[in-house]
Homo-oligomer: A and B are copies of this chain.
């Protein structure tokens, strides 16, 4: 790893903080301000006995330039909708962000919180956690995600500006990304999207320190990052990340570019650490007492742990209130804006007034009409109804628009020429789409949904998990949700995906059985303020089973008795989605044979599990033999059928054949359900 050790001149004496910097008359330099970050990062990691000091120390100079001269924010009003967004994609460097928030005066980021770094219940988690403190714009740590989020934020900014004008929306999105972020595949999807959509107000500061966990990046990567970003239509610059003026000039230029900009900032990881700087040893572990002492000496920082001299703190606090006037001016423009109420509603994620009535009307119409439709088509019907009354609805698909049925007729494409559009052609970029949707939701002002095949939730699963962890209203429209997909075969047929998604905390997985339930599930998904949803929808047509209209959203309870038994109930058939029709058929045959059977439709396990035990027992039938039917892995269904019950489902991968053949081949039939029930009576 010696090759990566920087020349000692990188920490030149000339740039060291003077010992007199505690003197009241001392004017803090950018390097002094940066050293405050370095010291806090070292100290917090040391106290926690775990963490990542290298990145904050390496990027302190760059972050100081950004936060003290460019970033538009007001620490006193951290939720100002038009603030610049700052995304620490290299989330392991969390102490960089926490230090900045503390130094600039974010009220909830106290020195005490820094002392509690990585402790239970602190705001200062190992990686930045959205919601733990103001100023944490997104949860980062899984590499590359922040970059993807930032693309969504920058796109949301352009789209919101197109709707409400620059008086209300006109801000930048800044990202700090590391080598790890740029090695992850998601970075390709993100930068390709940003370049295509010409997101000129997106500025990425690349911590180009040539070190990753295993050692010098030369062990694993030889990419020309500048060339790569250029190939995706970005403006680029390369600067010495320890030269504030060079960094400032690059940011200045980037702000006027009509393309997104990558600024590769050549830095020394662990800058200031006398022995470990420039090596992987600074990346993910405390420096140790000796090295910290040595760094203090080298940086000319003679203060005790967690101590920032008043002179330097003053400069930082001034940086934190720089945006105060701009904020005040914005509030005045906002107060005078004709669309203020609508802007606020969308920012708050409140549903439009006509929402409930629209859903109700749609339900009423389809329960009367009783169409035989694929639920993906049902979903399109719902979208066609909702789109005109819910302008914040933002559609999209990862290159499966016609298959996912995600584009309502009145949705114009979002393009670099028309950010006023409402439909994003995400391209074959499931991961980038999902990460960007997280960014759009975090930014506020939109209700994003995006489609692909259910099987390809695997391609965007890291971002789905973050939707759930951050509690963001993002709707995943996942069609072709079983072997019913047919001929495309096992690579395209989800089997384990429903179980895998149901296992994710704080994620609602909906599998509606007909158009009525599809409308209900959409209503539930969009009404959730802090939970993402997956809508699992069929490729193949299914009959309408909810033919009697009711204003009640029956799907809201997760599972309910769709058809009760005429005879005393001996069997409960539990099904979701396309298999509800099979359960209905099985019930008819059981009843014809003198066996009382009820059908339970269970569009959402999560909502069902939230119901009182008495309701759940009533629905499932305390003494009934329970048979679940779902054209997916049987995994997890034991929860509802119990040891006496049966699950009609998949135990292996699918196959390539027409859907009807597959259902027969894999034994997912009403006949199988009837047999399983009878065998258990």
Interface residues of A (CB under 8 A from B): 48, 50-51, 91-92, 118-122, 125-127, 129, 139-143, 179-180, 183-189, 192, 195-196, 212-214, 217, 219-228, 230-233, 397, 399-403, 413, 425-429, 431-432, 455-456, 458-459, 461-462, 465-466, 468-469, 486-492, 495-496, 499-500, 502-506, 633, 635-636, 638-639, 642-643, 650-653, 655-658, 661-662, 665
Residue of B with least CB distance to A465:
B458
Report the bound CA distance from A179 to B398 in whole Å. Answer: 13
Complex contact B125–A489 (CB within 8 A): yes
Report the bound CA distance from A126 to B490 in whole Å. Answer: 9
A183-B429, A227-B227, A228-B231 given as contacts; is B495 within 8 A of A505 (CB)?
yes
| Residue in B403, B459, B504, B657 whose beta carbon sits within 8 Å of that of A120 in the complex | B657
Chain B residues contacting A502 (CB-CB under 8 Å) are 635
Chain B residues contacting A217 (CB-CB under 8 Å) are 427
Residue of B with least CB distance to A650:
B505
Nearest CB in chain B: distance from A94 CB, A: 9
Report the bound CA distance from A177 to B570 in whole Å. Answer: 55
Complex contact B638–A214 (CB within 8 A): no
Nearest CB in chain B: distance from A124 CB, A: 8
| Residue in B129, B425, B432, B503 whose beta carbon sits within 8 Å of that of A633 in the complex | B503
Closest A-B pairs by Cβ, 8 of them = A185-B185, A220-B427, A227-B231, A188-B188, A125-B656, A120-B657, A141-B491, A496-B503
Complex contact B413–A505 (CB within 8 A): no
Chain B residues contacting A426 (CB-CB under 8 Å) are 220
Report the bound CA distance from A228 to B227 in whole Å. Answer: 7
Chain B residues contacting A143 (CB-CB under 8 Å) are 428
Complex contact A185–B429 (CB within 8 A): yes
Residue of B with least CB distance to A468:
B653
Report the bound CA distance from A492 to B142 in whole Å. Answer: 7
Nearest CB in chain B: distance from A607 CB, A: 15
Chain B residues contacting A490 (CB-CB under 8 Å) are 125, 129, 469
| Residue in B180, B491, B503 whose beta carbon sits within 8 Å of that of A91 in the complex | B491
Chain B residues contacting A431 (CB-CB under 8 Å) are 185
CB<8 Å pairs between A and B, sample of 28: A118-B489, A118-B657, A121-B655, A142-B458, A183-B429, A185-B187, A185-B429, A187-B188, A213-B400, A213-B401, A213-B403, A219-B413, A219-B427, A220-B428, A221-B427, A224-B230, A227-B227, A230-B231, A461-B461, A466-B491, A496-B505, A499-B503, A500-B500, A503-B633, A505-B633, A505-B650, A636-B638, A642-B642
Nearest CB in chain B: distance from A316 CB, A: 25
| Residue in B399, B456, B487 whose beta carbon sits within 8 Å of that of A142 in the complex | B456
Nearest CB in chain B: distance from A612 CB, A: 17
Nearest CB in chain B: distance from A620 CB, A: 11
Complex contact A183–B189 (CB within 8 A): yes
Complex contact B636–A635 (CB within 8 A): yes
